[in-house]
Structure 1
Amino acid sequence: MKHPLNFATTAFAALLLTASATAQQQEAKADGKAFAESLRGEAQQAAQQQPNAATLPNYDRNAVRGLETLAEDPDRIESNAATAASGHQGYRAMRDSLANRARFDPSEIEDVIARSLAINEAPLDYTSGMAISGDQGSCVPLPPGSGSAGTFTATCNTGTRIDQSAGQCAVPLLATVSQLPQYHYLCNRFGDFNGSGEPECAGFDGYSCRVTGRRDTCLQWSSSGGPPWCSEPGDPITELTCDEEVPGQTPYMVTTATRVTTTPDESQCSGFADNGDCTLDTEICTDADPQTRIVNGVPVTRPCWEWQRSYACTAREAATDCSDIESQGTCRFLREECLTDEVPCETWERIYECPLPETDSTRQYVCDGDVYCIDGSCETIERTANDEFKDAAVALHAMDEARGQFDPNTLTLFRGTRNTCSSKVFGVLNCCKGKGFPLIPGISLLVALGCDREEVLLHQRDAQGLCAYVGTYCSDKFLGVCLTKKKVYCCFESKLSRILQEQGRKQLPKPWDKPKEEQCEGFTLEEFARLDLSRMDFSEVYAEFTDAARLPDELETSVLIQQKIADYYARGGQ
């Protein structure tokens, strides 16, 4: 049970706390009302005034004008972005990474995995056979095939490189207001011949004076009962206003004139204007609102108050991109050709013949598990390669190609198709590498980087050995320096057709035409009849017939078996 005194004390304290809280709420309410009343006038005044951009926090008029300019000319967004990207460190790093990173063909990775799985399933099939005694035998590798991987044409550039860049600068208009004294004089072109007291106007020549009015003069006044009138007018007196006081002459009045002078401030553009390698591309107004502005209390109206100038600059320097090819040590230099018709030549293309990289083909083995046993007599079959098979296979294939690629309309054989691809001279992205360089998986990636889809397909066909390199010509040049070159190829339906064209043209002789004009015509029947196929090097095709060229000579084996059967029956008297 609570004590009555304690209960009363607690209740009294609660009443005091409630009263205190109520008083604080009323006081806060009164303070808020007073603060709102103090701001009412400013709010009403702001609502009645026009919006002022200068009062907006974090408002940047120049930034808004820049966005307005881009909105009026959206094409400049792409050009400005390309200009900024070419010099951006991150952009260059990304492009260099894409150009230099290692490339792997997915089919090669899949082949390695498939072989590993196959060996894992039956390891003895790939390590050894079974000897005659029943013990584990050994396997003997077959000799390597005589075919080679072939060669490819590699090119590089040397000479002069032109680096093109773009620059922008602002030209604000500076306005100054000054107060200048103006001296006013009167003069007569004949001088004081009639006693007018005015000096001759020729005495003001050479001073900064200008005619601002004329006053009529009268040599004879008449009055015939009315107001006087001029019966003999004289030459008018000229009023002159001069910016400086004329020595020996007394002005009849001196006033003050306000002069406004506007001068474009080109200091930001001096670096481009003084550079002989830079030319003005465009100049646009970027600040024309408002046209009338107050300068030292004087309204000054001009159609534009600031311009933006865009310059295109070029720089010439010696350059070469042949270090990669020359450092390999396996490429043979063939010749050097000028890409332009300029004298002296500014841009050269160096042409090399390089061997195709050797591919790690699966080695083949003959194991001592090939055992023939008859009547307890066992023999191990010795397998040897058939060296004539590859020649027969290539000859048959060549005849089949000739039949399939005969054009009855033109009576020609092995006609090709003309294909071209472009690349920047000394550029990072090269869509024309082709044979001898790894294929980048996915056409969309190269297209996204700037290659044409047809160029990527040409890259793939050339990598497969179906295209013959004809030559290169300059498709875009500037100041005598080649900027973009175009490679020309003749592509065929098979590697054999390409070899026949390349080596057959050397035998006839029938060289390729100029790169701009070559149309990849085929051989006529008379030309094809003159070709000596035995003198041609088909080693590149032989490499594809390696498996067939290593077929065992079963004829010798069958003769051996027949002899053993005959000996068996001879011993048994049958």
Structure 2
Amino acid sequence: MQPRALPGPAWSRLAPALLLLGAALAAGPANAQVYIPPPDDLIEDLPVLPSAIDPGIALPAPPPPSAPSTMTPDEAKAEARTTGSALRGAYEGLTQAPGAAGQIPGYQDSYPGQTSYYTNPEAMQTDGAVAGWNSEAYQTANSTTRPTVDVTRSDLARATAIAADPNAYLDGMSADGSTGSCTPLPPGSGTPNVAEWTCHVGSSVVEQPRTCTRSLSVAEWNDTLYQYLCVTGSGFDGCASLAGNAMCRKTASYPVPEYGLTVDYYDCDSPVSDPNVYLMGTLPKPPPAGAFQVVSNVYRCNTQGITDALTFDPVTGTPLQYLTGLQQCGSIASNASCTATSATAAGLAERSLCKAWDFIGDPFGGGYLTCLEPAAPEEVYVCTANIAGMTAESSISKWFVETWTDNACAIDLGSCTFASEQCTAAGETRVIGGVAVTRPCWEVTKTYQCQTVVGGGNDCGTLEATAGCSLAREICLDDPPRGDGTCDVLERVYTCPIPGTVQEPTQYICGGDVYCVNGECEAVEREASDEFKDAAVALNALGQANAEFDEAALTLFRGTRESCSHKVFGLSNCCSGKGIPLLTPWLCSSAEKLLDEKDDAGLCHKVGTYCSSSFLGICVTKKDVYCCFQSKISRILQEQGRPQIGKPWGKPKTETCEGFSIFEFQQLDLSVMDFSEVYADFMEAAKLPDEAAALVSIQQKIADYYAANKP
């Protein structure tokens, strides 16, 4: 159908408006179909495309009436705007109507021949060169004999003036977009510069070390076994005092039938006083299991090589006794079984040896001997083994029993945990019953870590003092919560700038396109088309739905529950948050480190925080729970789709990250979801050349041209 011709005067006034209409239609409606080439690995036959037969779609609206010849320019502009808006609304959704393919100029009902390049991309360069040489436009653009226009430097005077003072020519707009008719652009896809940090206020559980000791008691085993004999007969029981005694045990029984008697034998641990029983004798009781025997040999020796010497009174110097066969100490001091002691402690008499003597007075008229040079004091050793070549002054062999006893200690095992133990009296030798007893350890000190609740905890000072940090929310970590509404441990969440990042300035797009005809200019009103990003998101969402469909549960976009731990009022923190490196990675598990990487990549949604361990109702360790997905789109669909169908996230302690059922997914309205996060990824993947850099390059080429072609 051909458009109806308009009268001459009206045409001159409506021409700018129709040009505006053409620009609006060129932008296309928001729901235009987009041709998506098949994947590279397509192996099946391509399906037949729908027919391009024009079903005869009627015009949505009648053509506008002829404008009166007396219409002013302003009236013509207003009418053009009205007509353009009506036609734009009427043609919106045209590409979705049945038979719309027939309305597309140049449409062909078979796949383009260019699909052959899927398997042979090298042919594109050759075919392109052939097509170029056969193209009149290509030949004209690359002709060396085409006419050129000599542009002088004076022609750039206006552009130079505008570049020097752009604000003078912006008609109420500033170059930075701070004033005028400007629209802020959505944020870019750069690195995030803010993140959430947590701290805590309230009661804390402090661990304090406490110690207790255990002591070893060693006692000499010298119990005696008492052996008794008794007789029982008709009307007479002489064994009653032994049979009913818990300290006695019957060992034998011999009947005497000719006298009607029975003789019984008993071993008792203590004596029994009864005229009817007869004590046959006593024996040393065998040592119990765990007892140990100590042999104590006492040796006396000297280190000056003395073998014979007189002993003397150290006060008067009077000789007392002449001794022979004195022993040398030699290596006894270094013998592991020997311990140095004194004669008194070992039960020996003290004595002093003399190396040199002299006679004082007349040998015939009376005189006396005196010691001129005393010898060094003798050394006394107690050894638990026989020393070859030496004779012991005394030798004792005894059995001992040992018992460990816990000393008095105020340790509550309900709030204290055993940490370690250490021997604090090791390898000592003690004399017990006249015998030197050496044990590996006589005392053990046990250390416990005991938890105590302390009020007034607050580690939020740093965040409160950091510039740019603001309190976002508070979470009570009490589990279960108090009935009176109070909270023992409160988590505060702050939004703070990430160190080393810079806030991305807001960018604007200002004004609009201006089209001028015969000196009359009009701003072009455009409506943004989101066909490409909507098509890209839809295709990606369908691809993810196919990849993430759970055939067993018949669900889509199911996530995995993952968690990380954080010590309340402690250093250990494996929950850094998006964009922040882990503070204590050496304390974190491999799963927690992987969760941090997924969260930084935008794959995880934080469900919340709950207390994972507590002491006396005070939270000690908390866990942050996340639902992680296979892609950003899956995460966005879950975050923005759940509120649409009334499917809230569960409590952090029980959330299982369920996917959407097929019925639930059909109810989602993707058109109202914000996919700007993935738009940025798509734009990063196919970014156009930077406009500012292109302008600089063009300016430099113009300058180079004039420098090479000066008059």
Superposition TM-score, scaled by structure 2 size: 0.37
Superposition TM-score, scaled by structure 1 size: 0.44
Q: Looking at CA atoms only, which structure, 1 or 2, has the larger radius of gyration?
A: 2
Q: Which has the higher contact order (CA 8 A, sep 6+)?
A: 1
Higher helix share: 1
